[in-house]
Structure 1
Amino acid sequence: MLPDDARREAVAPPRSTRARRVGAVAAALVVLVEAVWLAAALPGAALAGDVGAITVAGWSAVACVGAARRDPATLRRFWTLLAVTMALAAAGRTLWTVQRLGNETLPHTPLIGAIFTAGILTGTTALLCSLAAPRSAVGRARTLLDGVIVALALIPIGWVVVFQDIADADLADPLRTFGLLYPMLDLMQLTILVAVAGPSRPIWRPLTLIGASLATRAGADAVYVSLVAHGTYAPGHVIDVCWPLSYLLIGVATTYPPPPAGEGGDEGIESPLPPWWRVALPYLPVGGAIIAVVLARHPTGQTPHLVFIGMMALLGALALRQGLAANENLRLVARLRRLAYADQLTGLPNRLMFNRRLRRALRDGPPVAVLLLDLDGFKQVNDRFGHATGDSLLTTIADRMRDAVGDDGTIARLGGDEFAVLVDGDRPVAPERLAERLLAALQPSAGEEDVGIHPSASIGIAEYGPQHASHTDLLRDADIAMYAAKAAGKSAYRTCTPGLRESAVTRAELIADLRRAVDEQQLHLDYQPIVDLATGAVRSAEALVRWRHPRLGLLGPAAFLPLAEETGLIVPIDRWVIHEACRAAATWRERAPEATVAVNIAAAHLRRPDLIATVTAATASAGLAPRALTLELTESALIDGSEAVLERLGQLRELGIRIAIDDFGTGYSSLSYLHRIPATELKIDRSFVSRLDTDTRAYATVEMVTRLAGAFDLAVVAEGVETEEQHAAVTAIGCVHGQGYRYGRPGRLADLRPASAPV
């Protein structure tokens, strides 16, 4: 528990805050007393009004000085200028009082007018220095002109309202007529405040109070000018309380804390679009001003001098404002062009600009070459370290590419981790030489390769020739060469040749045919037997998909499954294989109730959450017991799998589906995952089985895997058994099941004998 004194200090506001509040309350009492005094027309009302205004203006100036010392440096100039404004108001009112007491009823002298005008200037400058005000000189000039246009447009309107019924002889005194400018200047400041406060962002409370102060002062000045023009004003009028009230509102504004960091003038936050009325604000009074000019004419047809001067100034301000608008439009167009044609991350030209330059280079004629660069393994950088690290890496790579290419080509970022270089005109460097420089520049420096944040690159080169009808053809060939470089290994480049182009066309046609293969029932399944090595009985069969291509004939899985995996077509193919294999297995089990069927599942399908629904639907529709289905998964698919994949496999095992790890032994870290994967059997890769009779290390590997499977209570299938020697070896090692040409080639499932003589 805190002591009483400490607790009171913890909940009590700081001493400076209390002092500001006490000062504000005292100033408010002064205004209240003055209002009662003037309303009751007590003796000395004029002097009471003057003393009250001087007192509150002086207190407000001191309060603004305190705010300038207390608030952050970004607000210091704002409060300092407001302090000067209040000090000028106090000085002007003091001089007014002294001259009025010296038997001048209304001392409209040039000196007093100059002091109040100086206060208008400093107050306007303060508004333009607020946190919400534009940061550029052009933006401040535009905002100032908006206020000036409103003020000038209101001069003829004010003339009609105030001086319409005043005789010409009564307007001989220029100080009397030019007093109309005071409320116009107040409204100018109010317009500027509305402009800088922002269209939709939260408004800082002091700006609201300052706006109320300006509105109060504008109303008071307008009424004062009207009363003076009609000869009905006398010092001590109740309207006099409005000026100290306007000073009080500014002083109260100093009691509020500064806005949170980042609000107001943060350049990093995108400014919201202003509403229509904010854009039209400076032009709304202009129509009224035109009508007022007609109404303000004397019977002689002449326009009053003040109205004429105001309209001329209004035309000049409008012209200057439109000039600024035109300049801003030009700057905006230039910025939009930069945004449209430049990559925002690296500053390089983007795809749109690169295509434009490439088309122009092709119009100028050869030599023209394109180098297409794609980073190898960049996705792993994003996945492992995050997109911020990936963006930093792209920026670094862009800088290295600039240094490597120099003036010999135009670099662009086409998107993601794909870059391009255009070589055209008189640049003497060969594209192959430029590719070598790029690959050398992108080699990881000391330490980068160790932390794994520097991928290599594959580069494809295409040179313009008669076979290129447009820039898209050239880019297509560069893309073909780039994929050939990827196939050749990391950090390599390839130049597009007719052979590569023809191969790419064939590949594209094969992909298009593959999209129709499932729908047109061009796929079929062969089944390779899996036998019990102890008895020779066929206990299971692996479903192997074939494609009866209408033009190319029968294609094995190696000819089209890699394409299916690249294009995502492997998922619908997998679904078809699962359903077809379950249907065939259900028929087969009528003759062999204990027989099972195995189906290969692609890594992409394993990562899909609908895999379980697919498997259960296939077994249910075929009437196949789930335990009769085995899903074969490669080591790489399991090692790269997430927790969701492992959970999915666990759900399949709970349903009774068997899980086999295919090609076991070819991975590099699957042993550490084996205790987490709910597998039921291991299939030893054929690369080990084929060397059993010649390689002692292969024999030791198969023997070790068999013992490991026994420790995990997993069945073992030796794949690729083709010779008697291999059969004898896997049997001697202790493998339970075998698969390969030694026991039967793939064929129809109905042709397999579920139990036969020993093999």
Structure 2
Amino acid sequence: MPVPSPNRPGLPVPSPNRPARLGLWLAGVVLLVEAGWLVAGLPQAALASDLGAVVVAGWAAVACLGAARRHPPSLRRFWWLLAATMVLSGVGRSIWTVQRLIGDTLPHTPLIGAIFTAGIVTGTAALFLPRSAPRTGLGRARTLLDGVIVGLALIPIGWIVVYGDIAEADLAYPLRILGLAYPVLDLMQLTILVAVAGPGRPMWRPLPWIGVSLAVRGMADALYVWLVTQGSYAPGHPIDLCWPLSYLLIGAATRHPPPPDDDGADEATEPPLSARWRVALPYLPVGGAIVAVVLSRRSTGQTPEVIFYGMMALLGALALRQGLAANEILRLVGRLRRLAYRDQLTGLPNRLLFNKRLRQALRRESPVAVLLLDLDGFKQVNDRFGHAAGDTLLTNIAARMRAAVDADATVARLGGDEFAVLLDGDRSTPPELLAERLLVALRPSVGEEEAGVHPSASIGIAEYGPQHASHTDLLRDADIAMYAAKAAGKSAYRTCTSTLRESAVSRAELIAELRRAVDENQLCLEFQPIVDLATGTVGSAEALVRWRHPRLGMLPPARFLPLAEETGLILPIDRWVIHEACRAAAAWRGRAPQATVAVNIAAAHLHRSDLIATVTDATARAGLAPGALTLELTESALIEGSEVVLDRLRQLRELGIRIAIDDFGTGYSSLSYLHRIPATELKIDRSFVTRLGEDDRAYATVEMVTRLAGAFDLAVVAEGVETERQHTAVAAIGCAHGQGYRYGRPGELPDLRGRTGVGSPA
């Protein structure tokens, strides 16, 4: 089955065809015939051995060229170099055969040595081309040195264990040199292969085949020289099978497909960190080399030249390797410092570096100011357009801030959508002027404003003064000023003052006390009547929470509910209100069986999966019929509701719970969401009702909403009815129910009268 191309998705990469598979089988047959010939000791065994090696090497070269055509460009050089290695092996073996037939039994000539050495060079170069190999010059040099160190460490070990007789053997000088050189180079290649085989990533399947090929060839080279020194080698020896076997293994490696695309991999970076054993790999044989030197010195009383020069080379390679390691450590330390002190998305200094520079500026006792900037509505950008758009926006904002600040200050990203600017030293730009420049720079263009992908920003300014004991105090004041800017309408800046600071302290104390209010039973409910305008009957009431503060007295909802919503305390408060309102309503219905109670719940509760359980538990505990409870939700909270929220509201309606849209007309009123939300009533916002009799447009708005509600079969409650004129107007328009001081102020539920004097103020 065709393999999808990693570099051109959708296009198949041809798998090895039938001729290629046939070639592998034929090469295997050649090797088996050669093995049988050599083991049986048939005539011309040496020639059979040479021809078999040349044939298999030639086939392996062709197979590597075929693999190069099937693989992506990034891996073609790998197979080309392996093909060149096989060609050099075949050429070298052919020249060996010719010279041996002419009369030299073991023709170790410089030409043949140079050809085989060139094959080792091309093979080593190929090992640096897989995707898991190092991608930098430093990484390649380090890996090459690892192989050289392991190979050089083999010299004293091999001299003691295997090659001790080379010096005494009657061998030509090139053979004596190559007798050590070839196994050393083989081990060097094998070490490099192990280092690049894929640390931290799946191993590419051809690499193990090539690793076995190198191991077989290294074993063959070592045994060959040992047999020659013992005088027991003759051409056609069974050891000759190892070289064509190593070629066959390389040819077999070509049958594997290219590796899959490494998504997100950067070809210019280093692969993942290696395992500890890979890091220690080049140093493990060094201990064996030292032991070999000691044993050689003890047995002969002197150190052979080859061991001496080998150890000198080994020490030089080790020194160079340690130099590279030190360089790499310094580079990594620099990179870690950049990672530790820089924001990876924008490239700006991060919170850690900003705080460090702020502390340094404070120690210099120079004028210091901090501007803290927070984006208004950034969460909506992420929710609407996705986090990728949010990241792009943050990068754009960082660039605008850097350009606006120029060299006057330091810009940092503290995290999320929060930025900071540090002004220190003898600055020429006042912080207020810099804040204005930032607001202008961050102002969205026409296209960005229309698309809704560029939020505004609020900036808080704090200048160092005697009230700041540390940099955290200065940042705290900037944060206080920033929230004051948000409260002032956003897209603005504020400077921290003693008044703001005292207000923030009071706010923090109030939040801390609010956390204890529920547990210590400091909350209480008052109920405002909702009147049937046709009969004047009080048929319902809205539960309003109050806080009996032990120090500040009775606090209205506007004083503490915004804090509760900001801190998440609104959830336990809402749960308490629902339970208490249901309990009071159940008692009230004992005297007025048709009475209902309405409860406001926060938008945060709509997104909680336990909302239904909270409501059903409250009604069940109180013994209240679900139809007697109305949940009031603001228009803005409902319009932002997801399908999950709408399903939750539908489940509540199926249970009998009534749903009221509070403050209708002040949000994003649209017919489409009235179709989707399972509401039972609309509450016209007091801002329209209070203008009745004074503003014809307000009258038209209330009349339109009333007709709209009738079309959707929704009940209507006019909120904020305080005067007789307003009462007359809403009654004339046709509103079924009214609520406001005209009919009664909030109080205890038992105190609500059975009827309200419609004709005169209550």
Same-fold call, TM > 0.5? yes
Alignment partners' CA distance in 1, 2:522 and 2:538? 28
Q: 1:599 is matched with which residue?
A: 599
Cα shift readout 1:569-601 (whole Å, capped 9, x = no counterpart): 111111111111111111222222222211111
Runs of 5+ unmatched residues, structure 1:
1-11
Higher mean C-alpha deviation, range 397-406 or range 14-23: 14-23
Q: 2:645 is matched with which residue?
A: 645
Q: 2:418 is matched with which residue?
A: 418
Superposition deviation, residue 343 in structure 1: 0.5
Equivalences for residues 389-538 of structure 1 within 5 A: 389-538=389-538
Superposition deviation, residue 172 in structure 1: 7.2
Equivalences for residues 231-246 of structure 1 within 5 A: 231-246=231-246
Counterpart secondary structure, 1:170:
coil
Counterpart secondary structure, 2:212:
helix
Cα shift readout 1:279-323 (whole Å, capped 9, x = no counterpart): 221122122222222223475411222122111111111111111
Superposition deviation, residue 477 in structure 1: 0.9
User: Is 1:37 aligned to residue 25 of structure 2?
Assistant: no
Alignment partners' CA distance in 2, 1:238 and 1:264? 49
Q: 2:698 is matched with which residue?
A: 698
Q: 1:722 is matched with which residue?
A: 722
Superposition deviation, residue 84 in structure 1: 2.4
Counterpart secondary structure, 1:529:
strand
Q: 1:579 is matched with which residue?
A: 579
Q: 1:276 is matched with which residue?
A: 276
Superposition deviation, residue 59 in structure 1: 3.0
Counterpart secondary structure, 1:420:
strand
Q: Is the contact made by 1:596 and 1:628 (CA closer than 8 Å) also made in structure 2?
A: yes
Q: Is the contact made by 1:176 and 1:229 (CA closer than 8 Å) also made in structure 2?
A: no
Task: Say if 1:171 and 1:162 are closer, same or farther in 2 by CA, change over 3 A.
Answer: farther
Q: Which amino acid in structure 2 is aligned with residue 424 of structure 1?
A: D
Q: 2:753 is matched with which residue?
A: 753
Task: Say if 1:319 and 1:88 are closer, same or farther in 2 by CA, change over 3 A.
Answer: same
Cα shift readout 1:103-137 (whole Å, capped 9, x = no counterpart): 22222233322222222222111212333211111
Superposition deviation, residue 272 in structure 1: 4.2
User: Is 1:21 aligned to residue 48 of structure 2?
Assistant: no
Counterpart secondary structure, 1:199:
coil
Higher mean C-alpha deviation, range 708-717 or range 262-271: 262-271
Q: Is the contact made by 2:743 and 2:756 (CA closer than 8 Å) also made in structure 1?
A: no
Alignment partners' CA distance in 1, 2:18 and 2:449? 62
Q: Which amino acid in structure 1 is aligned with residue 519 of structure 2?
A: D
Q: Is the contact made by 1:460 and 1:495 (CA closer than 8 Å) also made in structure 2?
A: yes
Alignment partners' CA distance in 2, 1:568 and 1:610? 15
Q: 2:374 is matched with which residue?
A: 374
Q: 2:176 is matched with which residue?
A: 177
Higher mean C-alpha deviation, range 679-688 or range 14-23: 14-23
Q: Is the contact made by 1:591 and 1:754 (CA closer than 8 Å) also made in structure 2?
A: no
Higher mean C-alpha deviation, range 145-154 or range 442-451: 442-451
Q: Is the contact made by 1:56 and 1:244 (CA closer than 8 Å) also made in structure 2?
A: yes
Runs of 5+ unmatched residues, structure 2:
1-11
Alignment partners' CA distance in 2, 1:55 and 1:493? 83
Higher mean C-alpha deviation, range 654-663 or range 463-472: 654-663
Cα shift readout 1:323-368 (whole Å, capped 9, x = no counterpart): 1111111111111111111011111111111110111111111211
Alignment partners' CA distance in 1, 2:736 and 2:16? 89
Task: Say if 1:163 and 1:661 are closer, same or farther in 2 by CA, change over 3 A.
Answer: closer
Q: Which amino acid in structure 1 is aligned with residue 174 of structure 2?
A: L
Superposition deviation, residue 675 in structure 1: 2.6
Q: Is the contact made by 2:135 and 2:268 (CA closer than 8 Å) also made in structure 1?
A: no
Q: 1:109 is matched with which residue?
A: 109
Q: Is the contact made by 2:15 and 2:257 (CA closer than 8 Å) also made in structure 1?
A: no
Q: Is the contact made by 1:526 and 1:544 (CA closer than 8 Å) also made in structure 2?
A: yes
Superposition deviation, residue 657 in structure 1: 1.6
Cα shift readout 1:486-509 (whole Å, capped 9, x = no counterpart): 122232111111111111111111
Task: Say if 1:188 and 1:268 are closer, same or farther in 2 by CA, change over 3 A.
Answer: closer
Q: 1:6 is matched with which residue?
A: none
Cα shift readout 1:591-630 (whole Å, capped 9, x = no counterpart): 2222221111111122222111111111111111222212
Q: Is the contact made by 2:369 and 2:431 (CA closer than 8 Å) also made in structure 1?
A: yes
For the aligned residue pairs, the C-alpha RMSD in angstroms reads 2.2
Q: Which amino acid in structure 2 is aligned with residue 177 of structure 1?
A: R
Q: Is the contact made by 1:372 and 1:418 (CA closer than 8 Å) also made in structure 2?
A: yes
User: Is 1:287 aligned to residue 273 of structure 2?
Assistant: no
Cα shift readout 1:549-573 (whole Å, capped 9, x = no counterpart): 1111111111111111111111111
Counterpart secondary structure, 2:59:
helix
Q: Is the contact made by 1:369 and 1:423 (CA closer than 8 Å) also made in structure 2?
A: yes
Q: Which amino acid in structure 2 is aligned with residue 552 of structure 1?
A: L
Q: Which amino acid in structure 2 is aligned with residue 103 of structure 1?
A: G
Q: Percent identity?
A: 77
Equivalences for residues 672-691 of structure 1 within 5 A: 672-691=672-691
User: Is 1:54 aligned to residue 54 of structure 2?
Assistant: yes
Counterpart secondary structure, 1:426:
coil
Q: Is the contact made by 1:686 and 1:718 (CA closer than 8 Å) also made in structure 2?
A: yes
Task: Say if 1:426 and 1:300 are closer, same or farther in 2 by CA, change over 3 A.
Answer: same
Counterpart secondary structure, 2:624:
coil
Superposition deviation, residue 13 in structure 1: 11
Superposition deviation, residue 228 in structure 1: 0.6
Superposition deviation, residue 671 in structure 1: 3.5
Superposition deviation, residue 168 in structure 1: 5.6
Equivalences for residues 54-453 of structure 1 within 5 A: 54-164=54-164, 166=165, 169-170=168-169, 174-178=173-177, 179-262=179-262, 266-267=266-267, 271-297=271-297, 299-453=299-453
Counterpart secondary structure, 2:691:
coil
Q: Is the contact made by 1:59 and 1:251 (CA closer than 8 Å) also made in structure 2?
A: yes
Superposition deviation, residue 221 in structure 1: 0.9
Q: Which amino acid in structure 2 is aligned with residue 627 of structure 1?
A: G
Alignment partners' CA distance in 2, 1:154 and 1:425? 63
Q: 1:7 is matched with which residue?
A: none
Task: Say if 1:71 and 1:611 are closer, same or farther in 2 by CA, change over 3 A.
Answer: closer
Q: Which amino acid in structure 2 is aligned with residue 170 of structure 1?
A: A
Cα shift readout 1:501-537 (whole Å, capped 9, x = no counterpart): 1111111111111111111111111111122222222
Q: Is the contact made by 2:132 and 2:199 (CA closer than 8 Å) also made in structure 1?
A: no
Q: 1:8 is matched with which residue?
A: none
Q: 1:9 is matched with which residue?
A: none
Task: Say if 1:252 and 1:296 are closer, same or farther in 2 by CA, change over 3 A.
Answer: same
Using structure 1 for the length normalisation, give the TM-score. 0.94
Q: Would you say how many aligned residue pairs link Structure 1 and Structure 2?
A: 747
Cα shift readout 1:643-688 (whole Å, capped 9, x = no counterpart): 2222222221222222222222222324432232222222222222
Counterpart secondary structure, 1:355:
helix
Alignment partners' CA distance in 2, 1:53 and 1:209? 18
Task: Say if 1:638 and 1:298 are closer, same or farther in 2 by CA, change over 3 A.
Answer: closer
Q: Which amino acid in structure 2 is aligned with residue 356 of structure 1?
A: K
Alignment partners' CA distance in 2, 1:22 and 1:363? 79
Counterpart secondary structure, 1:563:
helix
Task: Say if 1:135 and 1:757 are closer, same or farther in 2 by CA, change over 3 A.
Answer: closer
Higher mean C-alpha deviation, range 63-72 or range 625-634: 63-72
Alignment partners' CA distance in 1, 2:269 and 2:618? 54
Alignment partners' CA distance in 1, 2:205 and 2:606? 58
Counterpart secondary structure, 1:632:
strand
Q: Is the contact made by 1:371 and 1:460 (CA closer than 8 Å) also made in structure 2?
A: yes
Alignment partners' CA distance in 1, 2:428 and 2:263? 54
Q: Is the contact made by 1:366 and 1:464 (CA closer than 8 Å) also made in structure 2?
A: no
Alignment partners' CA distance in 2, 1:554 and 1:213? 88
Task: Say if 1:108 and 1:578 are closer, same or farther in 2 by CA, change over 3 A.
Answer: same
Alignment partners' CA distance in 2, 1:490 and 1:455? 10
Alignment partners' CA distance in 2, 1:436 and 1:733? 49
Superposition deviation, residue 268 in structure 1: 8.6
Task: Say if 1:608 and 1:62 are closer, same or farther in 2 by CA, change over 3 A.
Answer: closer
Task: Say if 1:487 and 1:298 are closer, same or farther in 2 by CA, change over 3 A.
Answer: closer
Q: Which amino acid in structure 2 is aligned with residue 589 of structure 1?
A: R
